[in-house]
Chain A
Amino acid sequence: MSRRTDYQFTTNDDAPNVWRSLDAKRKPEEHAERAKAEFPFGTDGVELSSPKPTRKDADSLEVGTFGRRGFMLFAGASAALAGCARRPVENIMPYTKQPEHAVPGISSHYATVYPVRGEAVGLLVESHEGRPTKVEGNPEHPASLGASDTATQAAIWDLYNPDRSQSFAKAGKETTAEDFDTFFADLAKVVAENRGETLRVLMAPTSSPTLLRLRDAVKAKLPGAKFVTWASIDDSSVDAGAKLAFDQAVNTVYTLDDAKVIVAVDSDLLGDEAGSLKSSRGYARGRKLRAPTDTMNRLYVVEPALSVTGMAADHRWRVPASECEGFLVALATELANKHAVDLGTLGSLKAGAVNVPEKWIPAIAKELVQNKGKGVVAVGPRQPARVHALAHAINWALANTGHTVQLFPAADAEVTADHAANLAALTTEMEAGKVETLLILGGNPVYAAPGDVAFADALKKVKNSIHLSFGYDETSSVCAWHAPESHAFEAWGDHRSRSGLYAIQQPLIAPLVASRTAIELLSVLAGQEPKAHAQVRQTFAAVHTGQIGKPLVAKLQVNEAQWKLALKKGLVSEATPRALGAPAARTAEIAKAFEGAGAKAVGPDNLEVTFAPDPRLGDGTSANNPWLLEVPCPISKLVWDNAAFISPATATALKLESGDVVRLSTEGSKPVEVAVFVQPGQGDNTLALTLGWGRQNVGRYGSRHGFDIQPLRTTKGYQFATGVKLEKVTDVSGIVHRFADQGKASEPTPVLGRVGPVGPFDGARYRFVQTQDHHSMEGRPLALDTTLDKYRAQPNFPQFKTPDPKVLPLWKKQDYSKGYKWGMTVDLNACLGCNACVIACQSENNVGVVGKDQVERGREMSWLRIDRYFVGDDENNPQVAIQPVACVHCEEAPCENVCPVNATEHSPEGLNDMAYNRCIGTRYCANNCPYKVRRFNFLNYHGEDGVLPETEKMHMNPNVTVRMRGVMEKCSYCVQRIQEAKIDARREGRLIKEGDFQVACQQACATEAIVFGNLNDPNSEVAKLTKLDRAYRLLSEIGTWPRTSYLGKIRNPNPELV
């Protein structure tokens, strides 16, 4: 008689339907069968979506240049030889003159600042013996608050990018820095002869006071020269809208800590927008329920495509981008007419048909009025300036401005809107032969120019074209000169945060290749001191003495003590401007901007496309970064690709399925071929496209992945466009060359396994790889969520909680009541699924990248994965639950019991340790892990010896073993940080106290969703959170006693709209 009972759990009847992917929802049996295997695809006879690799392919793939048998031969021979040989001689190379603060073995952190998406994020970068290895946020910096995002975390890899531009180039041929400097110095004299009449400088908007000062200096010296502002990611409507509303250049900063109602109109304010770290922190603080009596904020999202903010929404409605304006106008009208909110002439704007449920606008308006001063209406950069201005007017009329919506004077008083038009105007000038010298400071206009702007052709008519860029890219190759640009960690600079805080960009390392910065080149043009260091010091002195914004007449004296303090802290707090308060919004002017507005409604005969920076690659500057290429898209969980997202309903109507290739074109654009991906939550009749992919020659990792959709953008439809023509492509032979040739396993790739034996297409269907399909939930409730009302009625999640099993243990339970007892909590109410923790973990723990083909086989290595579940029965408009899962460090760990060599063992502090050198790779542990968090090195993902470029290895954390082929690995709770803290504490003769260290994912998290600490310390945050009624342990009913607890997600729907 078996004592084993069937797996049981209870859910009450009103528990919602939860599903991992469309596939899993539509064909549950098939999906469950596929996910059953420990490593689902390709390893145990389950067919890949394309033909299985042949034996020969597989052999050569496994060990590179020789087969499995050959490997055994060599392995045997080398083992025999190793027995006879002494250890190899190693040398120790001490310094000759040791720098004062450099201690081998002790890392130091340097404060610097890094520009991300229109915001300057303060950072503390860890450096080992002069080698930067890890990025953390600067807790004192208002735009970081100690947190970081994927872009800043991944910046460290970019620094060591082996395919960054290695040398200066003249007409496509390598040349020296001296050559370039001579040419450029002469050029500066030549352009000065005609007062710069034929000089144009193309640069992205900047907040750097030094760059702005130099720009003004160049303009003063060369009055004929023009500066053209353009960036592929055009956020200018935000500034233009604010200027329209307040008649001055201001930055908007959301302070959501006290907000009660947040209305996001086509705005990803918690995800991919300027200031998202600060916004996310505030948003999450308003949702951290500690007791059922606590209150929480409510988030309404109206957007065309599912975004990180949309996934967090309490109420979300899918509205095409071109109709979001109508929604806000309707809201304004409702506020003015029903609630007597004084919006002046804006109250009488004509609202067209608004595609939201009838009750929505009255309900939202009522809430906004009830929460005057505690609401936010946020508009995303995709929307035109007038919509931003209208939102400002609403926020001002509701007294939110000055409280939840704060205004600060912008660093750059010149507001230039509409980047596409700027670039088009420049191109016309170039074609007319009016531009003799074009200096392009960063950016990649040849790749990213709108489809109706023939920038590349016009560039040929420019005599002296100079491109400063980090990589030798599409633009560099057609310019007369190319200068490598220094990485932000290599060069002096400065930035202002959106709230006006001045911070110095301090280099951590001398440039790895000879390179220049925009500051240095502009200094030469301005006829000033060409050293960036000296320039930044002058700006610093000007900031300190209140002379910023005025031209410098004499050299300023730098206060050395203040300068050192500023470098140490990473910011200059004394010189921070104050918030502007609440200036009156100019309602009449805003109303004027709405004259003649109104668009044809989006429908099956009028499709829409929206453009957005990719949540991973941004505008494509970091397109060679394998961390970003492989991290699953937060929305779709696709890896190594972008796609045209399409809603299930529209896909059915157009007879399209995921992977089908379509040709899109809009008025004036070039046609673009892109594969569609059916994405629940996507707006009907609107396709969401992301920038940054499909670059043909960006480097060994990023070349030819995804779809380049840039030519579809036009000057008129730069952010979104309607009237899209869509045509299904049945023959892909014409475009197959655009994708990495994954047909040749023997291709000399730098790291094995990053390409595989299967081609990019399966017939005419593009092969997408999604991580979310890899494991099955087996019907268990994992990511628990409920509504605030239900939580208040029954605070303990009784509908989900299952008792711990009452089986007698087979052995004596370990006593963990003394010493440290490490534990973690993850607040699902705060987690946004933004991926910052995933990249932070990868960077901290030397986690490898495996390639698209290996991910398809279920071999991804990420220690921390973010599961995304859809909740509800509506395929088109589901709710979303997000759950980060790493090793939960079970006290009764099933993996440990099955390891034949004791390679995974428990520490007295409750860590589930992994001793890599004991592991013989049986994979029993991974099979027996109920959470599926163990990762196996099927191949040498870090490269065989000597394959990886030396510089690329430099990002590795020296405190963590680099794992090799055949070894199991998983989350270690950042044991290297625990041990370091323990050693530091012991040296000082004390115990670790709360706050001594943070684990990598916790440190990166903007929403403070992850908390780590000592459960035996009753005052520790983690101990308090574990005792909350929202806390539950994942799969606790099977008796694993996990150390990681989750705090259930609570939604806050408006009772009037349920």
Chain B
Amino acid sequence: MQIFPRSLNKLPLVAAVAINVIGASLTLGIWYYLTPKHFQVGYAPVQPIPYSHRLHVGQMGMDCRYCHAQVERSAHAQIPPTQTCMGCHAVVKNDSQRLDALRESWEADRPVEWVKIHKLPDHAFFNHSVHVAVGVGCNECHGRVDEMEVVRQDQPLSMAWCLDCHRNPRPHLRPKDQVTNMEWRPEMAANWTPPEVNPPQHCSGCHR
């Protein structure tokens, strides 16, 4: 007696194929999409002070190092102390409501609690100064900050992404005096040959 229709004979095969395909696509999907490239890029939290890089860098043309002053010396580029902001804003826009938090910080001697955007894991020891010293431009990692009203993460900052450049650094290098130039393009120094930099590709280069 035939209880099930004949067409069901194919079910095990179909099921086997389907489970494999679904499984594979799930795996690949998670593998590909649950990565910093898709999860971290674009992270643009609200900051306690609506500071605009587009205005300060893009329109007024301030150099990165005016605020991030230690980038050539230290591992950290350094978020500027309130004092740096007050250098101008004691006189400029000193009644703007948008700067209330800044003035409050200055008067109460309490730091502004900026929200960290570019986060590396604690076991990765990144050093800004050496990257600047060999001529890696700011916007290689941070993107066109001069066009950002609110700063967002531009690159995945994953280990694979780091290694892409460490394995082949030349396309990402520029003359040292152009490091902070947001509009720099390789064509601007056609006769310039990037130096041999040999960045580390072994574990202790970054993990200590």
Give chain A's interface residues, CB within 8 Å of chain B.
83, 86-87, 89-98, 103-106, 905-908, 911, 913-917, 959-961, 972, 975-976, 978-979, 983, 986-987, 989
Contact A976 to B208, CB < 8 A, known contacts A103-B74, A961-B122, A983-B130: yes
| Bound complex: CA A91 to CA B115 (Å) | 5
Cβ-defined contact, B78 with A94, below 8 A: yes
Proximity bits, B59-92, A CB within 8 Å = 1, else 0: 0000000000010111110111111000000000
B121 on the A face (CB < 8 A) = yes
Q: Which positions 106-141 of chain B face chain A at CB distance < 8 Å?
A: 106, 109-116, 119, 121-123, 125, 127, 129-130, 133-134
Chain A CB within 10 Å, residue with most, of B76, B105, B114, B125: B125
Chain A residue at smallest Cβ distance from B133? A987
21 residue pairs of the A-B complex, CB under 8 angstroms, read A89-B115, A92-B79, A93-B114, A94-B81, A94-B112, A94-B114, A95-B81, A96-B106, A96-B109, A97-B82, A103-B70, A105-B74, A106-B70, A106-B75, A907-B200, A907-B203, A916-B123, A961-B123, A975-B204, A979-B208, A987-B73
Closest approach, in angstroms, between the C-beta of B137 and any C-beta of chain A?
17
Cβ-defined contact, A986 with B123, below 8 A: no
**Chain B hits for A87, CB < 8 A:** 40, 119
Interface size of B by Cβ–Cβ distance < 8 Å? 43
Among B40, B116, B208, the residue within 8 A (CB) of A90 is: B116
Cβ-defined contact, B202 with A905, below 8 A: yes
Cβ-defined contact, A972 with B204, below 8 A: yes
Closest approach, in angstroms, between the C-beta of B196 and any C-beta of chain A?
12
| Bound complex: CA A987 to CA B40 (Å) | 30
Cβ-defined contact, B111 with A96, below 8 A: yes
Closest approach, in angstroms, between the C-beta of A868 and any C-beta of chain B?
31
**Chain B hits for A96, CB < 8 A:** 81-83, 105-106, 109-111
Cβ-defined contact, B130 with A987, below 8 A: yes
10 nearest A-B residue pairs (beta carbon): A105-B74, A907-B202, A105-B75, A913-B203, A93-B111, A105-B76, A95-B81, A96-B82, A98-B81, A90-B116
| Bound complex: CA A469 to CA B203 (Å) | 47
Chain A residue at smallest Cβ distance from B78? A104
Chain A residue at smallest Cβ distance from B74? A105
Cβ-defined contact, A979 with B81, below 8 A: no
| Bound complex: CA A200 to CA B119 (Å) | 60
**Chain B hits for A987, CB < 8 A:** 72-73, 129-130, 133
B186 on the A face (CB < 8 A) = no
Chain B residue at smallest Cβ distance from A908? B202
Closest approach, in angstroms, between the C-beta of A980 and any C-beta of chain B?
9
Proximity bits, B6-43, A CB within 8 Å = 1, else 0: 00000000000000000000000000001000011000
| Bound complex: CA A907 to CA B106 (Å) | 47
Cβ-defined contact, B82 with A917, below 8 A: no
**Chain A hits for B106, CB < 8 A:** 96
| Bound complex: CA A862 to CA B111 (Å) | 39
Contact A105 to B70, CB < 8 A, known contacts A95-B81, A911-B204, A917-B123: yes
Cβ-defined contact, A97 with B109, below 8 A: yes
B50 on the A face (CB < 8 A) = no
**Chain A hits for B208, CB < 8 A:** 959-961, 972, 975-976, 979
Q: Which positions 185-208 of chain B face chain A at CB distance < 8 Å?
A: 200, 202-205, 207-208
Chain A residue at smallest Cβ distance from B76? A105
Cβ-defined contact, A97 with B114, below 8 A: no
Chain A CB within 10 Å, residue with most, of B39, B40, B45, B129: B129
Chain A CB within 10 Å, residue with most, of B109, B200, B203: B203
Among B40, B78, B114, B204, the residue within 8 A (CB) of A979 is: B204
| Bound complex: CA A911 to CA B207 (Å) | 13
Among B115, B121, B202, the residue within 8 A (CB) of A906 is: B202
Chain B residue at smallest Cβ distance from A907? B202
Chain A CB within 10 Å, residue with most, of B72, B204, B205: B204
Contact A97 to B119, CB < 8 A, known contacts A961-B207, A979-B204, A979-B205: no
**Chain A hits for B121, CB < 8 A:** 917
Cβ-defined contact, B113 with A93, below 8 A: yes
Cβ-defined contact, A97 with B122, below 8 A: no
Contact A91 to B114, CB < 8 A, known contacts A906-B202, A913-B203, A916-B207: yes
Closest approach, in angstroms, between the C-beta of B126 and any C-beta of chain A?
10
Cβ-defined contact, A913 with B74, below 8 A: no
